[in-house]
Amino acid sequence: MLTATEPNFIDYPIGEDSTIQDIKLFSDKDPRFDGAINGGSSSLVSGDDKLYDAGFKFKSSQAGKIKALRSWISAQDNINQPHKARLWDGETKQILAEVTFENIVGDSWNEAALNPPVDIQPNKTYIVSADVLKNLPRQGNFFNTPFVKSPITALATTESLNGVFTYYNLEDGYDDPALAPVFPQRSFQNSYYYQDIVFQTESESTTINVREHVINHPIFLENLKSGTENWLETNYALSLEIAAFMSAESINKGESIDIKASVLTPGNIRLEVYRLGYYGGVGGRLVEDIDNIVAAKQSIFNELVNSQTKLVRYSWAKTYTITTNDTWVTGCYMVKLTEKNTNKQCLAFFILRDDALKSDIVYKFGFATHLAYNTFSYNGDNRKSTYSGGERALQITHDRPWEANTFNPNAVNSNPLRWEVNTIRWLEKNNYRVSYCGGQDIDKQGSNFVKKYRVFMNSGHDEYWSFKEYKAIKEAIEAGVNVVSLSANTCYWNIKWSDDYRTADLYKKNDPLAGGVVSNYIVDTFNVPPTYRFRDQELIGKTFNGCQIKGECGLLGVGYIGDIGNIYGGYDLTVKKEDSIFRGTGLTIGSKLTQLIGYEWDHIDPDSLAQPQTKTGTPKFVDSIIFESTIPDSIPGTSNVSQSFLGNLPLDAVQTAQGVYFTAPSGARVFSVGSIQTSWGLDSWGVSPARESTAYQRLIYNVFEDMGVWGGLPAPVPAQLIEFTMTRQLSMERQLTSKPHHFNSLLHQISALLAEVTDEKVKSHLNSALRELRYSDYDAVRTYLNNAGYPELASQVPNPPSIKE
C-alpha cells in the first residue's frame, strides 16, 4: 500500500448552515423524567409554600455572553404569580442581571432573554437562580460530580458547594424576605433545582482551520449542519404500545427501506429519522419527520416460533417506506416512532452506505451481536436469546424488534447507543473521512468491498461474524488493509446468514465453555463450517473455501477471555512497552488510562498456530503486546474461557487483559486494544463516570497517522503537555490553540533553517521537530533540535508546563 502524505491545513469559510448556535447546559426535556443524571436521585418535590431562590454555580472555559435565563417551573408552583430569575457573580455576590418570566407554562421550561446579554469571563464562578414560590422541585445528589457541556461546567460540590438556594423563612431562622434578593449560598444534598442558561461564545469566527483533504467529504460537510438534542429523549414503550423493525440492515444511498411497525391500539404514529454523528456535541440531526402515518395492530400474538430453534420472528406488513436521495450521508440512522394515543415511543436503526464514496476508513456496526442478545417477544415464555439457559435460540433474525428499543432500554448488548455511537461521535468531530457498513455488507460483497479503504474499523461489542466476513477481513489484511479494533470478544462466534439475509444460524456447541448446555441442542451438520466458535476444534486450523481459519486470535491478535457484570465499571488500561505509537501522549511503561478495560476483555493465544504472522523486520507477534492490564478483582468461575484457547493458559489468565499492535506480512498494521469500552476514552457521552482521555485520543490519532490516515483537525494534546490555554473558536467544540509567543518564534526559526540546510538527515530532524512542536511535545522537539545540531535553539524550548484550567 502506498504511503500517504500528511495533508495541509487551510482556513475553510463556514456559511449560514454551520453549527454556530446557542448552548444550553441542559436539554429541553422534562427534568423529572431525565433519570438519575450524574448519579442523582429521582426527582423530589418539597411541599413548602415558602419562597425559595434556587440555582447552581457554573463556569465557562472561555469568554462569552449569557443571552437568557431558564427555569423549569412546576405546575404545582403558583404559576399565576411573577417569577424572577437572576444571574449572580459568584465571587462578588452581586446581581449581574434579573429577568421576569412572562406567561408561565407549568411543568415546562420557561425562558427570559437578557437585554442586553451579560458578558462572562473564563474560569470565573457564576450562579443562575430562579424563584420558586411553593413546592420546590429538586433532584438530590446531582452535583456530587460535575455536569459538563463544553465550554460550560456546572461545578461539583467537591470544587465548590453547589445546588444553592436562599430560603425566605425568617420565623424558622432562615432568610429575611424583607432583604430579598439575598445571595443564594445554602445547600441541601447537592440538589439540582431545574435552572439553566443560554450561552453564546464571544467569538464566532467565519473560518475554521482544517486539513484540505476533508473539505469536500460528506462527513465534514454534514457536521457543519445544525444538530438537535431531540433524538435523545425517548418515552419508551415499556408496555409494548408500539414496536418496529427495519426491512434491511443497511442500504446504499439512493435506495429505500421499509419500517414495519405494530401498535396495540390502531391509529396514527409519528416517524422521525435522525442521523447520528457529532453536530457540535448534540449528536444527531433530524433528516425526516412524517406525522399521522396510519399504523395497524399486526399479528403480534401469532409469533412465528420455531419449536426446535426457538426463533421468534414476525411477518409484518410495511408501515412506511423511507426513501433516501443524494443529500443523505453515509452513517447510522435512528428511527423514532411515536404512538399518538399514548405518546409512547420505540426505536429502530439502519445503516446507510455510500458505495461510491472515497473514504479512508470503513466502520462496521455489529448489528448481528445486537440480534444475538435480543429477547424481544410479546409472549414472555418465548423470550429466548442465544444466551438463554434451559433452552436457547439457535437462530437470530432481523424480523423482530429489539428489546432495547422498546421494553428494555437498559439491555446491555442493546443497540449502537451503548458503545458505537461514542466512536462515531469522535470520528466525525475530528472530520475523518469515514464510510459506514454492516457485517452483512462484508458477507455479501467479500474482500473487494473492504479493499476500497485504507482502514477497517470496529468498536464496542462485535462478537458475531459470519465465515464469509472472517474470510473477507483476512483477505483484506493480506492485501494491505489496516485494522483498528476498539473492541473485545470480537469475531468469537461464526454465524451463517440465510439467502435473504433475514435470519442466521447459530447452533453453538453444547459445552459449558461455549454457550452452556441446553435441552434443545442440535449438532450443526447443516453449515460448512459449522456455526461454532472460530477457535473451536471443528474450525481452527482447517481450510474452508480457500481460507484457513486461525481463530479470532490468528486474525486480530487477541480473543475473548473475561468479563465483569458492571458494564459501567472497569479497570485501568496499562501500557506494557515503549512504542512510537505513544508519541505525544505522555504515556510511558506503566501508565494507566482510567477504567478503559471492561466489561469484556481479551488475551493472546499462547499457541503460535493461533497467532498472526508478522512482517519480516518487524517485532515478532509475542513482542507486539503494547497493553497488559491486571484485573485486581476475582472473576467468577464462569469466566473459565481461558481453557478454550488452543494454547495452554492457567485459569488465572482471566486476570490479565492484553492489547496488541503488529505489522502483518503484507505491511498492514493491526491495532487490537482488547477491551469493549475503550471507545469511552474517545468520547464519554452518556457514560458515568466519564473517562474521556486526551492521551487516549492522541494514541488513536497516532494509530491512524501510522496507517496514513488523518482527520481534519490537529492531533489532540494531552493536558499534562499543554502550556497554553485551549480556546474554542466555534460552538462546534473545535478547539484551536492559543500559542504562547515562543511557539511562533520557534516555528519561524525552524522553518527558516529548513529553507537553508541541504543535509537530508538534518532536514529530517527539523521536520520532526516542527511536527512535535505542533503537537506540543516539547521534550521531543528538544531532542530533534539537538540531533539536528542546534543546541542553542533547543535551549529555547520550554519544559512541559503545568496544566492551566
**Model confidence pLDDT, tens digit, residues 404-456:** 899 877 676 778 998 999 999 999 999 999 999 999 999 999 999 999 999 99
Residue 714 and residue 495: Cα distance in Å, rounded? 41
Mean pLDDT, rounded, for 308-331: 95
What is the reported pLDDT for 203? 54
The dihedral formed by the CA atoms of 539, 543, 546 and 552, expressed in degrees to the nearest 10: 40
Give the residue from 556, 676, 663 showing the smallest Cα distance to 616: 663
- Domain hosting 590: range is 301-314+355-706
Contacts of 206 (CB under 8 A, 6+ apart): 13, 14
pLDDT at residue 41 is higher than 60? no
Look at residue 623 and tell me if it is in a domain: yes
- Would strands 434-438 and 361-365 be described as parallel, antiparallel, or unpaired? parallel
* Residues 306, 193 within the same domain: no
Of 253-267, 582-596, 616-630, 709-723, the poorest mean pLDDT is in 709-723
Model confidence at 767, pLDDT cuts 50, 70, 90, reads low
What is the reported pLDDT for 21? 64
CB 76 within 8 A of CB 45: yes
CB 711 within 8 A of CB 431: yes
Residue 189 sits in a domain of what CATH number? Answer: 2.60.120
CB 392 within 8 A of CB 516: yes
Using N-to-C axis directions, what is the helix angle for 778-788 and 760-774, rounded to 10°?
170
- Would strands 320-323 and 331-339 be described as parallel, antiparallel, or unpaired? unpaired
Contacts of 312 (CB under 8 A, 6+ apart): 303, 304, 305, 376, 377, 382, 383, 384, 393, 397, 400
Other C-beta atoms closer than 10 Å to the C-beta of 399 total 18
Contacts of 353 (CB under 8 A, 6+ apart): 250, 251, 252, 253, 330, 435, 436, 437, 441
Out of 155, 177, 201, a domain closes at 201
The residue type at 81: Q
Per-residue CA distances from 409 to 374, 389, 443, 679 (Å): 12, 22, 29, 20
Q: What is the mean pLDDT of the chain?
A: 87
Higher-confidence residue of 728 and 107: namely: 107
C-alpha 292: how far from chain center:
33
Look at residue 724 and tell me if it is in a domain: no
pLDDT in tens, 113-157: 999 999 999 999 999 999 999 999 988 888 887 888 878 999 988
Cell numbers describing residue 798: 520550554
* Residues 157, 305 within the same domain: no
- Would strands 735-737 and 726-728 be described as parallel, antiparallel, or unpaired? antiparallel
Model confidence at 290, pLDDT cuts 50, 70, 90, reads very high
Out of 657, 684, 706, a domain closes at 706
pLDDT at residue 206 is higher than 80? no
Residue 739 and residue 731: Cα distance in Å, rounded? 20
- 3-class DSSP state of 664: coil
Helices (H), 483-558: 551-556
What is the reported pLDDT for 141? 82
What is the reported pLDDT for 372? 93
Model confidence at 722, pLDDT cuts 50, 70, 90, reads very low
* Residues 184, 308 within the same domain: no
* Residues 197, 308 within the same domain: no
CB 197 within 8 A of CB 128: yes
Mean pLDDT, rounded, for 347-354: 98
Residue 167 and residue 185: Cα distance in Å, rounded? 10
Higher-confidence residue of 52 and 303: namely: 52
Higher-confidence residue of 569 and 735: namely: 569
- Would strands 669-672 and 482-488 be described as parallel, antiparallel, or unpaired? parallel
Residue 404 and residue 796: Cα distance in Å, rounded? 57
Mean pLDDT, rounded, for 68-89: 95
Residue 404 sits in a domain of what CATH number? Answer: 3.40.50.880
Mean pLDDT, rounded, for 668-680: 97
Look at residue 778 and tell me if it is in a domain: no
Using N-to-C axis directions, what is the helix angle for 760-774 and 741-756, rounded to 10°?
160
Model confidence at 560, pLDDT cuts 50, 70, 90, reads very high
Residue 397 and residue 415: Cα distance in Å, rounded? 15
Helix (H) or strand (E) holding 309: none
Per-residue CA distances from 682 to 33, 174, 363, 391, 421 (Å): 28, 46, 15, 39, 11
* Residues 372, 508 within the same domain: yes
Other C-beta atoms closer than 10 Å to the C-beta of 130 total 25
One-character DSSP codes across 36-93: -GGGPPPEEEE---SEEEEEEEEEESS-EEEEEEEEEE-TTS-TTS-EEEEEEETTT-
Look at residue 794 and tell me if it is in a domain: no
Look at residue 28 and tell me if it is in a domain: yes
Which residue carries 460448512 as its cell? Answer: 528
Out of 648, 673, 706, a domain closes at 706
pLDDT at residue 31 is higher than 50? yes
CB 526 within 8 A of CB 505: yes
Look at residue 787 and tell me if it is in a domain: no
Residue 736 and residue 746: Cα distance in Å, rounded? 19
C-alpha 357: how far from chain center:
24
What is the reported pLDDT for 526? 94
What is the reported pLDDT for 328? 98
* Residues 431, 571 within the same domain: yes
Higher-confidence residue of 123 and 547: namely: 547
Model confidence at 637, pLDDT cuts 50, 70, 90, reads low
Look at residue 344 and tell me if it is in a domain: no
The residue type at 412: V
Look at residue 240 and tell me if it is in a domain: no
Per-residue CA distances from 600 to 93, 102, 151, 473, 582 (Å): 49, 53, 33, 22, 24
Q: 768 forms bridges with which residues in the sheet?
A: none
Contacts of 161 (CB under 8 A, 6+ apart): 185, 187
Higher-confidence residue of 138 and 293: namely: 293
What is the reported pLDDT for 531? 97
Model confidence at 69, pLDDT cuts 50, 70, 90, reads very high
In residues, how long is the chain? 805
Give the residue from 733, 683, 722, 686 showing the smallest Cα distance to 151: 733
* Residues 554, 429 within the same domain: yes
Which residue carries 432500554 as its cell? Answer: 409
Model confidence at 742, pLDDT cuts 50, 70, 90, reads very low
The residue type at 332: C
Using N-to-C axis directions, what is the helix angle for 741-756 and 778-788, rounded to 10°?
30
Query: How many folded domains does the chain comprise?
Result: 2
Helix (H) or strand (E) holding 531: none
The radius of gyration of the chain from alpha carbons, rounded to an integer in Å, stands at 28
Mean pLDDT, rounded, for 351-355: 98
What is the reported pLDDT for 407? 80
Higher-confidence residue of 700 and 25: namely: 700
What is the reported pLDDT for 778? 60
Residue 445 and residue 462: Cα distance in Å, rounded? 19
Residue 786 and residue 216: Cα distance in Å, rounded? 40
pLDDT in tens, 387-405: 877 889 999 999 999 988 9
- Report phi then psi at 71, rounded to 5: -150, 130
What is the reported pLDDT for 732? 30
